[in-house]
Homo-oligomer: A and B are copies of this chain.
Amino acid sequence: MDENIKLREERIDALLQEKKYAMLRTELTDIPSVDIAEIIDDLDAKSTLIVFRLLHKDVAAEVFAHLLPQQQQAIVEVISEAKLKEIIAELFFDDKIDFLEEMPASVVKRVIKTSSEEERRQINQFLNYPEDCAGSIMTIEHVSLRKEMTVVQALEHIRKTGPDKETIYTCYVLSDSRVLEGIVSLRKLVLADDDQVVGEIMSENVISVTTLDDQEEVAHLVRKYDLLSIPVVDKENRLVGIITVDDIMDVMEEENTEDFHKMASMAPNDQEYLHSSTFSLARKRFPWLLLLMVSATFTAAVIGTFEDILSAVVVLAASIPMLMDTAGNAGSQSSTLVIRGIALGEIELTDYLKVFWKEFRVSLIVSVVLGLVNMVRMFLFGYSFLVAVTVSLSLGATVIMAKLLGGSLPIAAKKLNLDPAIMAGPLITTVVDTLSLLVYFNIASMLLGGL
């Protein structure tokens, strides 16, 4: 596959250099639009423009929708007014909004000038939906039917209006005032008898969302009910748009990326890594690092308090890193499992006690085994018996604390309407570190204080 793509790129480069544009046009017709967008990624401005002129207008619009905002802007700035108008007209409404959201005001103005009064109103409405809500990812190109239509009429209507729609596989049955009365799949229409009526075969139990619903929630529903698209309605149950499953897959990866970033104590980044500037990357990593570093003042304070025992038994210092790393890792494991369980809807707030009890039993097993292995390890490395006991006991207690906190804090965050993902490894580690040092030095003072 990768080999083919490389060969294709070389062929296209050659055709561009030799100015064999007719052949290039033929070559391009066989390539999916998302691949053309990738090829353009490596071309200079002039070649990009040539490729764009060679594409059929609906393919050009599809390719345009797949480009990065910087590339879209570069093209808009050099393209003729007529060509721009053509591409904009062909864009699906959701792609149009995505594009406009990223453009500077001057470009937005130029694009809006090409739109009708009605479309301008709609663009402004869509641009106002908050990011990450259903309204911000929906599109308007759907097939609407009427209850009274027969199957034949419905299919005829689909044939007439279908070509410009994002999907024709789910059709929406609307009343005069655009209230969503039901849905009917193309599958059902094709398999039904010609003279059946849409109202009979449509399904009235429609799973829908409202414009302000969180896109993560929308993705949950689409995945749970195996939908190909989901209708978006307003408070009066009037249809305002639809969201298709291809966009839902992107939402899923976006939301997962956000969780990965948050769990590694970073502000989420919705730009691709290699396309993000150094400063924006640094800025997103900085706040949490700083907070966690400063909060380490507590660990320093604990160690400061126990300076006497530490000077007396300097060898105690040698186990601090191991204790803290193990605690951090044990806590991360639990918090990751619980954060992920909440994200997938497998763990509810009401499962709190079940989680706590399970983590307690798991941590008991893990801490006993780790403690024993540690005894053996320290014995082999020639530590004194009492030091080994001190470290092993602390290790066991620390693992239990870490797992109980790791299991509880994400649920607590959810309860407080915070994102559970922030209660991940880094934060848990910082909290558990202080606790584990306290346990460690207290046990050490008891067992070794008299030495």
* B354→A274 contact, CB < 8 A: yes
Q: How far is the CA of A191 from the CA of B151 in the complex (A)?
A: 15
List the one stretch of A9-17, A122-130, A235-243, A319-327 in contact with chain B.
A319-327
A23 within 8 A of B: no
For chain A residues 411-438, which have a beta carbon within 8 Å of chain B? 425-426, 429-430, 433, 437
Q: Which 8 A-B pairs have the closest CB atoms?
A: A296-B322, A264-B336, A226-B246, A299-B321, A300-B318, A303-B318, A282-B365, A273-B341
Q: How far is the CA of A263 from the CA of B261 in the complex (A)?
A: 12
For chain A residues 309-341, which have a beta carbon within 8 Å of chain B? 310-311, 314-315, 317-322, 324-326, 328-330, 332-333, 335-341
* B285→A321 contact, CB < 8 A: no
Interface string of A64-98 (1 = CB under 8 A from B): 00000000000000000000000000000000000
A34 within 8 A of B: yes
For chain A residues 258-282, which have a beta carbon within 8 Å of chain B? 259-261, 263-266, 269, 272-274, 278-279, 281-282
Contact with A290, one of B224, B285, B370 (Cβ below 8 angstroms)? B370
* B248→A373 contact, CB < 8 A: no
Contact with A294, one of B274, B319, B338, B377 (Cβ below 8 angstroms)? B377
Q: How far is the CA of A341 from the CA of B332 in the complex (A)?
A: 21
A47 within 8 A of B: no
Interface string of A126-169 (1 = CB under 8 A from B): 00000000000000000000000000000100110011000011
Residue of B nearest to A299 (CB): B321
Q: How far is the CA of A263 from the CA of B264 in the complex (A)?
A: 10
Chain B nearest CB, measured from A13 CB (Å): 17
Contact with A346, one of B246, B248, B260, B273 (Cβ below 8 angstroms)? B273
Residues of A within 8 A of B (CB): 30, 32, 34, 155, 158-159, 162-163, 168-169, 186-187, 190-191, 205, 207, 222-226, 228, 245-246, 248-250, 252-253, 256-257, 259-261, 263-266, 269, 272-274, 278-279, 281-282, 285-286, 288-290, 292-294, 296-297, 299-300, 303-304, 307, 310-311, 314-315, 317-322, 324-326, 328-330, 332-333, 335-341, 344, 346-347, 351, 354-355, 358, 361-362, 365-366, 369-370, 373-374, 377, 381, 395, 399, 425-426, 429-430, 433, 437
* B310→A266 contact, CB < 8 A: no
* B370→A289 contact, CB < 8 A: yes
Chain B nearest CB, measured from A304 CB (Å): 5
Return chain B residues, CB-CB under 8 Å to A303.
317-318, 320-321
Residue of B nearest to A368 (CB): B282
Chain B nearest CB, measured from A25 CB (Å): 16
Q: How far is the CA of A218 from the CA of B180 in the complex (A)?
A: 35
Q: A260-B339, A264-B332, A317-B320 given. 9 additional CB < 8 A pairs?
A: A260-B260, A273-B346, A289-B370, A292-B326, A294-B377, A296-B321, A321-B324, A328-B429, A329-B429
* B320→A358 contact, CB < 8 A: no
* B340→A260 contact, CB < 8 A: yes
Return chain B residues, CB-CB under 8 Å to A290.
369-370, 373
Return chain B residues, CB-CB under 8 Å to A304.
315, 318
Return chain B residues, CB-CB under 8 Å to A264.
329, 332-333, 335-337, 425
* B430→A325 contact, CB < 8 A: yes
Chain B nearest CB, measured from A416 CB (Å): 18
* B336→A322 contact, CB < 8 A: no
Return chain B residues, CB-CB under 8 Å to A162.
187, 190-191
Return chain B residues, CB-CB under 8 Å to A307.
314-315
* A319→B300 contact, CB < 8 A: yes
Q: How far is the CA of A64 from the CA of B62 in the complex (A)?
A: 41
Chain B nearest CB, measured from A243 CB (Å): 13
Contact with A288, one of B311, B329, B346 (Cβ below 8 angstroms)? B329
Return chain B residues, CB-CB under 8 Å to A32.
205, 207, 225
* B336→A281 contact, CB < 8 A: no
* B365→A325 contact, CB < 8 A: no
Return chain B residues, CB-CB under 8 Å to A260.
259-260, 263, 336, 339-340
Q: How far is the CA of A339 from the CA of B361 in the complex (A)?
A: 32
Q: How far is the CA of A293 from the CA of B322 in the complex (A)?
A: 6
